[in-house]
Structure formats: C-alpha cells, structure tokens
C-alpha cells in the first residue's frame, strides 16, 4: 500500500498587513489557548479532510488567560481512579507535543485527618528531610503523595499544539477577535494597535463555518448567548481609557459609578457596569457562560479591584477578591459547571456551536477533553 500524500501545512495570518480573504471552513476554533490549540490539532489528525481555522484574539501563546497563568501541574492526586486513564492519556499527549518543560516533581498534600490513601506525613516526607522544616507534622499528620506528578509549561503546550496543527493543515488567524453568528458563521474583527497604543478594529469579516468551537476560556462569559451584530466597523478604539484608582472613600459615588448593589434574597447582588471591552450588545449575565456559571471575568475584576478602596465591603475575605488580580481565583479561569472541582468538558450549544472548557483540572485532563471534542465534532460533520 502506498503512503498517504503528505499534508500541506496551513496558513498563518499574524497581522492585518496580510490580507485574509474569507473562505468557508468546516470547523472554526475560537481561542488558541491550550484547549483550542489542542482541539485544532486533534481535529486535523482525526479528520484531515476537514478545513480548520484557529482564531486567537492575541498572540501565540497569548499573554493573558488560563494557559499562561496556569501552574502547569500534572498530577493524579485527588482524582477519581476512573479518570486515571484520561490523566495518563493527557500526560503522554503533552509529552508528545515537544518540549513543554516537563519535569518530574513528586507532589504531596497534607491533611489533619486520616483517610484511605493517606500515609503519615513523616513517612511521606522522609525522602525530602529539608521539607520537614516547612511544615508541622503534628498539625498535619497525614499526607497523600503522588510520585508521578510533574510540572510543565502550558504556554509551551499551546504553542507546540498550534504549530503542529498548522503543520497538519489548520489555518491560524492571530490578533483577531471572533464571535459566532446565527446559521454557522463567524464574525471576525482583525485588530491592530495604533501608534498611541490603542487596540482598534482594522476590518470586520465573516466566514462560514459548519461548526464553531468556543475555546475562549474565561474570555467572555455570556457572549456566545449575545451574538453581536457583524457590521463592518469604522476603526474605533475598542478599549476605553482606564479610570484611575479611587484614592479615598469620599469619592465612592463617582468611583462606584455604574456598579449596582441590588437587595436580593436577604443579601445583595452586585451588578457590574457594562465594560468598555465588551462586544457591542453584550449584557453582563451574572457570570454565565452559555449556561455554565464561570469565575468572574477579568475585566470585571479589574473594575472591582479598582473599586475596593471606595467600597470596603468588596475587600472582605468572604468575597475572596484579593487585592490584585493575581490573588483572585477565577480571574482567568472558566469553572466548568461553576464548580472549582469541575472537570474539563465539552458540550453542544446548538447545531453549529460547541463549547470546550478546561477549568482548574486542565493541566491534568485538558488534552483528553480536547481529543473528545475533536472526535465528537468530526463524527457530527462526517
């Protein structure tokens, strides 16, 4: 039997100086984080006949998002044993991508109480006597140890996956913000930066896509529900000027402008203002990403952190907001099912649209979910 012909590589549009003539795609993947990049690669590997377009709002890897900010810890600790094969598959797939900075590092969690699988802390830490100076084994006498755990760089994984996807024939459009339109179309805003450092829309295009995969992380809770109109835009700033940090409480009213506290069920619901970076027509939907509650979106958190001095209630421990975005869990992560322990998942949103979410377990299981999505999309389009 003769070998199949080599796949011709896909094309890359990195900046608006490279003209992009929209042509129909079978699958458009929105977001080239580790989830989206891996999904594009697995789609091309699984179904080489499918024309695949990967669209990323920023660069590769992007400077924001879960992929860059994730700790990159692969571990079976705390995983249901039924998920161990998926974790092992992900481990092999990550290492097959190339140099992702994979480093074997045993991982220990310490506990106050005994439970199945836990061993005495002193016993678990015996191979690393220096670490005993850091903990009080009397306070946390029980430990769980994963000798197979490892750290790696999720940004490298996204980069290698996207490069492999291109080699396998996927096209990549960078610096382009995408939004699904009804009827299997994707609206593309190609972005550029002015010499005053403002991000502006250079051109707005539409591409037909039989399936759109939303792998945008926490990039936009609610926006797939509020598909915005795709009209050729006159270049306009897409980022509003940042309001300065509020120096004193007496300025609370002006600083809190747009922020509404609504009494509800004996507590308060905090309704953030419309954000300048929201797509036209987007209404904040209380942290819902197509029905999946998410962590707060980053733009909203930036507003809240700036309001903390004005509204001390925002800075209480109970709200887990922290003083900088780096302290805030969920600033960059969509939580599958709204649960911190939610597993990477994909779901069908409508006949043309799929959602792929990594969440907190993406380091250990994310690529397996991306592979599952690729199988499901390829089967649906066959």
What residue ranges bind ligand ADP (CB under 6 A)? 30-36, 55-58, 62, 65-67, 177-179, 215-217, 219-220, 332, 358, 362
- How far apart are CB 179 and ligand ADP at their closest, in Å? 6
Question: Residue 33 or 169: which CB sits closer to ligand ADP?
Answer: 33
As a whole number of angstroms, the distance between CA 72 and CA 94 comes to: 11
- How far apart are CB 356 and ligand ADP at their closest, in Å? 7
Closest CA relative to residue 353, chosen from 176, 226, 205, 224 = 224
- How far apart are CB 178 and ligand ADP at their closest, in Å? 4
Question: Residue 178 or 305: which CB sits closer to ligand ADP?
Answer: 178
- How far apart are CB 347 and ligand ADP at their closest, in Å? 14
- How far apart are CB 276 and ligand ADP at their closest, in Å? 15
Are 215 and 30 spatial neighbours (Cβ–Cβ below 8 Å)?
yes
> Given the structure tokens 């299997």, which residue do they identify?
184
> Residue of minimal CB distance from ligand ADP?
33
Question: Residue 20 or 106: which CB sits closer to ligand ADP?
Answer: 20
Question: Residue 213 or 362: which CB sits closer to ligand ADP?
Answer: 362
Q: Kindly write down the DSSP assignment for every residue of 296-339, as one continuous string.
A: PPHHHHHHHHHHTTT-GGGGSGGGT--SSGGG-TTSS---GGG-
Closest CA relative to residue 364, chosen from 337, 346, 341 = 341
Write b or e for each residue in 42-62: b if 16 or more Cβ atoms lie within 10 A of its Cβ, otherwise e. Answer: bbbbebeebbbbbbbbbebbb
- How far apart are CB 296 and ligand ADP at their closest, in Å? 14
Question: Residue 172 or 215: which CB sits closer to ligand ADP?
Answer: 215
Question: Residue 67 or 121: which CB sits closer to ligand ADP?
Answer: 67
The C-alpha R_g of the chain, in whole angstroms, comes to 23
């Amino acid at each position: 039997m003769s070998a199949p012909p080599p796949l011709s590589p896909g094309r890359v549009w990195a900046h608006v100086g490279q003209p992009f003539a929209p042509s129909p795609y079978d699958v458009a993947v929105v977001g080239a984080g580790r989830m989206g990049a891996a999904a594009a690669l697995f789609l091309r590997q699984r179904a080489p006949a499918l024309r695949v377009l990967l669209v990323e709002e920023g660069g590769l890897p992007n400077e924001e998002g879960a992929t860059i900010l994730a700790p990159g810890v692969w571990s079976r600790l705390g995983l249901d044993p039924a998920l161990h094969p998926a974790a092992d598959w992900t481990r092999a797939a990550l290492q097959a991508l190339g140099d992702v900075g994979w480093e074997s590092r045993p991982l220990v969690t310490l506990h106050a109480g005994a439970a199945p699988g836990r061993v005495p802390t002193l016993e678990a830490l015996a191979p690393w006597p220096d670490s005993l100076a850091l903990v009080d084994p009397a306070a946390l006498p029980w430990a769980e140890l994963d000798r197979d755990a490892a750290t790696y760089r999720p940004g490298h994984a996204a980069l290698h996956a996207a490069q492999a996807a291109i080699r396998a024939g996927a096209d990549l459009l960078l610096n382009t913000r995408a939004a699904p339109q009804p009827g299997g179309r994707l609206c593309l805003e190609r972005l550029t930066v002015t010499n005053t450092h403002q991000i502006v829309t250079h051109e707005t295009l539409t591409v037909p896509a039989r399936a759109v995969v939303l792998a945008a992380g926490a990039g936009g809770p609610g926006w797939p529900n509020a598909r915005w109109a795709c009209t050729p835009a006159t270049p306009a700033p897409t980022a509003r000027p940042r309001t300065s940090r509020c120096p004193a409480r007496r300025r609370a009213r002006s600083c809190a402008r747009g922020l509404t506290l609504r009494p509800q069920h004996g507590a308060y619901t905090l309704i953030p203002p419309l954000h300048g970076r929201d797509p036209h027509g987007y209404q904040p939907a209380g942290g819902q990403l197509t029905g999946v509650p998410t962590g707060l979106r980053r733009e909203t958190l930036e507003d809240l952190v700036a309001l903390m001095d004005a509204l001390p209630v925002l800075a209480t421990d109970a709200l887990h907001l922290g003083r900088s975005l780096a302290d805030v869990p969920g600033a960059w992560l969509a939580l599958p099912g709204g649960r911190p322990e939610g597993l990477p998942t994909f779901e069908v949103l409508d006949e043309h649209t799929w959602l792929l979410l990594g969440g907190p377990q993406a380091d250990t299981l994310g690529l397996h979910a991306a592979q599952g999505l690729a199988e499901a999309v390829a089967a649906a389009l066959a």
